[in-house]
């Protein structure tokens, strides 16, 4: 879809006149999974595919929402911007984001017509919902001159997810979508929100995303269950070390307390989190030092821990990672995002990319009956105005 097609589609839907357009990307996380809501580190990068928002302010007492991807349209009164729609309605994502403006005292006093188009494959674990939240936040902030900073816009997107979609997610996805820079990954401390943009210049290596096309989408039930299990682990550790989240305990301290856990599940969840935070800081150090082989080894360790201890991988992601690691020229391969289906991310030497896509695709399809898709990732820029 070209920019001009978006303008034409907007005018077809809402009529002639001037329009503005904004874009926010999806993300791929290189390492640091299920650490964000534990106050740990993550290392995602923004992609070049994402969500577009075409918008025009009106004198109507309502906002209108339409999408080129989905059928249903909504018209919401300016007095009803903080009320969620029925669960499952896509408009909850933009509406939930706009609700955060209202809650902060920034109420749109006039209406707007909004058209959304996204090219992040849905259910692929590449943050199509965060892209939609962040693009809405960036567009509304700019159109109404609210003057809110980008980190706050990301936090507002996260709140929309909590309050309007029922997923108690961390900040990684919205932060990456808002703050990403081309050719850089974001080394983010999810407790303090301090971050560093780390150049990802991989000589002779590509980042390949494999979409399992597994029918499982991010299941808010299982995700929220993991969040609760981590909180239970914090409670177990508290009598021995007064922590408020799992990022405050080192792997060594954790291992010395492992026998205090009666609940084996909480113990394994915590073990993943504390070791994953260490793997993430190690991985960033190795990347900066140019030790890409070590970076890949840590990626593999991440997946294995997400499989054995955190139990968020499932047969499709495991199969794709297993087949990926058989290919010569693969430096590391792991699931990315929330899990329970979705995508893998692999570092693949240039000369092995075609074989990778062909062989992993063939074997994966033979073993699961599902047809996967592969994308060679380009690292793009965070949410911004395009016209």
Separation CA 351–CA 332 (nearest Å): 15
Contacts of 188 (CB under 8 A, 6+ apart): 36, 41, 42, 43, 44, 171, 172, 175, 194, 195
Contact in structure between 45 and 183 (CB atoms under 8 Å): no
Residues 6 or more apart whose Cβ sits within 8 Å of residue 288: 198
* Six-digit token string for 344: 């893998």
Could you give the CA distance from residue 292 to residue 2 in angstroms, rounded to a whole number? 36
Candidates 168, 102, 90; CA nearest to 131 is 90
Stretches 50-58, 166-174, 291-299, 351-359: which one binds ligand GLA (CB under 6 A)? 166-174
Residue 94 C-beta: closest distance to ligand GLA, Å? 17
Kind of pairing, strands 74-77 and 62-67? antiparallel
In the complex, what is the shortest distance from the CB of residue 219 to ligand GLA, in angstroms, rounded to a whole number?
Answer: 11
- For β-strands 62-67 and 112-118, DSSP reports them as parallel
Closest distance to ligand GLA from the beta carbon of 218 (Å): 6
Number of C-beta neighbours around residue 231 at 10 A = 16
Note if 191 is an active site residue: no
Question: Does residue 209 contact residue 348 with C-beta atoms inside 8 Å?
Answer: no
Least distance (Å) from ligand GLA to the CB of residue 331?
Answer: 21
| The one catalytic residue among 36, 113, 173, 309 | 173
User: Which of these ranges, 30-38, 280-288, 315-323, 350-358, lies near ligand GLA under the rule CB under 6 A?
Assistant: 30-38
Question: Are 380 and 25 contacting, i.e. CB atoms less than 8 angstroms apart?
Answer: yes
Kindly tell me which of 295 and 310 has the beta carbon lying closer to ligand GLA. Answer: 310
Q: What mask of x and - would describe binding to ligand GLA in positions 309 to 348, judged by CB under 6 A?
A: ----------------------------xx----------
User: CB of residue 338 vs ligand GLA: minimum separation in angstroms?
Assistant: 3
From 74, 113, 133, 173, residue interacting with ligand GLA (rule: CB under 6 A): 173
**Which listed range, 34-42, 69-77, 251-259, 264-272, lies at the site for ligand GLA (CB under 6 A)?**
34-42
- Residue pair 229/269 in contact (Cβ under 8 Å)? The answer is yes
| Residue 180 near ligand GLA by CB under 6 A | no
Query: In angstroms, what is the minimal distance from the CB of 176 to ligand GLA?
Result: 10
- The reply on whether position 172 binds ligand GLA by CB under 6 A is yes
Number of residues located near ligand GLA, criterion CB under 6 A: 10
* Listed ranges 32-40, 81-89, 108-116, 137-145: which one lies at the site for ligand GLA (CB under 6 A): 32-40
- Residues marked active site are found at 173
Residues near ligand GLA, by CB under 6 A: 33-34, 36-37, 169-170, 172-173, 337-338
């Amino acid at each position: 879809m070209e920019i001009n097609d978006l303008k034409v589609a907007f005018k077809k839907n809402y009529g002639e006149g001037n329009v503005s357009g904004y874009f926010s990307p999806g993300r791929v996380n290189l390492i640091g999974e299920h650490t964000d809501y534990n106050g740990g580190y993550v290392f995602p990068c923004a992609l070049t595919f994402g969500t577009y928002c075409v918008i025009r302010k009106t004198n109507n007492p309502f906002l209108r929402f339409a999408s080129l991807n989905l059928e249903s349209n909504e018209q919401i009164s300016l007095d009803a911007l903080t009320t969620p729609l029925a669960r499952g309605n896509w408009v909850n994502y933009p509406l939930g984001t706009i609700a955060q403006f209202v809650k902060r005292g920034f109420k749109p006093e006039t209406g707007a017509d909004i058209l959304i188009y996204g090219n992040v494959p849905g259910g692929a674990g590449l943050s199509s919902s965060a892209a939609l939240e962040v693009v809405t936040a960036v567009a509304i902030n700019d159109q109404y001159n609210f003057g809110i900073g980008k980190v706050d816009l990301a936090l507002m997107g996260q709140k929309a997810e909590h309050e309007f979609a029922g997923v108690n997610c961390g900040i990684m996805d919205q932060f990456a979508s808002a703050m990403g820079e081309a050719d850089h990954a974001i080394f983010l401390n999810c407790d303090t929100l301090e971050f560093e943009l780390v150049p990802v210049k991989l000589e002779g290596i590509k980042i390949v995303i494999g979409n399992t096309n597994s029918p499982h989408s991010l299941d808010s039930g299982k995700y929220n269950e993991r969040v609760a299990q981590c909180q239970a682990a914090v409670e177990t550790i508290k009598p021995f070390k007064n922590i408020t989240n799992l990022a405050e305990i080192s792997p060594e301290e954790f291992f010395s307390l492992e026998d205090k856990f009666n609940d084996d599940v909480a113990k394994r969840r915590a073990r993943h989190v504390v070791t994953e935070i260490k793997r993430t800081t190690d991985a960033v150090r190795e990347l900066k030092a140019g030790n890409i082989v070590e970076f890949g080894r840590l990626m593999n360790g991440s997946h294995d821990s997400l499989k054995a201890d955190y139990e968020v991988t499932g047969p499709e992601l495991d199969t794709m990672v297993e087949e990926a690691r058989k290919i010569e020229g693969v430096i590391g391969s792991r699931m990315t995002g929330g899990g329970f289906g979705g995508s893998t991310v692999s570092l693949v030497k240039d000369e092995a990319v075609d074989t990778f896509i062909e062989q992993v695709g063939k074997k994966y399809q033979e073993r699961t009956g599902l047809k996967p898709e592969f994308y060679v990732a380009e690292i793009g820029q965070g949410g911004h105005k395009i016209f």
